[in-house]
Amino acid sequence: MARFLSAHGYDPGPTQRPLVAGALAGALASAPAVGLLLVTGALAVEARIVGTSLLGTIAIGVPVMAMAGAVYARLFGRPANDPRAGWLFGMAYGFVLWAAGAVLVLPLVSGGKAAAGTAALGVFLSLVVWGAALGALLPFLQRPLQEKLEAAAKRSRTGPTEALPQLGSRTPI
C-alpha cells in the first residue's frame, strides 16, 4: 500500500489545507449518512443507546464526522485528493470507522449495548456511504481552499522555520 500511495505523492503540499477540506467534506458527507440512518431506523436506536434525542444525536454526530473527515484527509494525504479513487479510499475509511466505532467503541461506552438487525445494517451502510461521499467531495472542496503558489511565495518566511512557532519552538534549527 505504501508504494501505491507514494506513486501519488503522499504528503500534501504547502499550499494545501487538508484538515479544513476534510472537516468540511466530513460534515457535508453526513447528510446522506443521516438520511440512511433515518430510513433504516438506526438513528433512533443510536439515540436510545447514547441516551439523547434524534436531534441531539445528529448534533453530536456531525462534528464528530467532521473531525473524522479531517483525520481522513491528513491520513491519506494526496491520494485522498484523487477524484478517480478518493471515493474508494473513503469507503475503506468508513468501513474502518464502522469496525472501530460501532462494533468496538459503542458497546464499550454504552455498557454492552449495540444496534442489531436492520439498525445494525443501517449503521454499517451509513458509514460506508459517508466514506464514499467524503472521498468524492474532498477533491472538489480541496481545490478552492488551496493557497495560490504566488501568494505562498510572497510570505516573508517559508520552509521548516515557518512551522517552528506552531510547534512551540521559537529558535531556528
68-97 pLDDT, tens per residue?
999 998 888 777 777 888 888 899 999 999
Helix (H, G, I), strand (E, B) or coil at 112: coil
The residue among 1, 4, 140 whose CA lies nearest residue 83 is 140
End-to-end CA distance of the chain: 33
* pLDDT at residue number 14: 45
What integer pLDDT is reported at residue 166 of this predicted model?
Answer: 54
**Separation of alpha carbons 72 and 125, rounded Å:** 18
Q: How far apart are CA 74 and CA 110, in angstroms?
A: 29
Comparison of pLDDT for 168 and 83, the residue scoring more? 83
Instruction: Give the global pTM.
Output: 0.72
Confidence of residue 51 (pLDDT cuts 50, 70, 90): confident
Q: What is the pLDDT of residue 18?
A: 77
Burial class of residue 127 (count of CB atoms within 10 Å of its CB; 0-12, 13-18, 19+): buried
pLDDT for residue 83: 80
Residue-level pLDDT at 15: 45
- Each residue's pLDDT tens digit, 113-129: 777 788 888 889 999 99
Q: Provide the pLDDT confidence category of residue 130 given band limits of 50, 70 and 90.
A: very high
Contacts of 142 (CB under 8 A, 6+ apart): 16, 17, 18, 21, 73, 81
Percent of the chain with pLDDT over 90: 31
User: Which amino acid, one-letter code, is at 2?
Assistant: A
pLDDT (0 to 100) of residue 139: 86
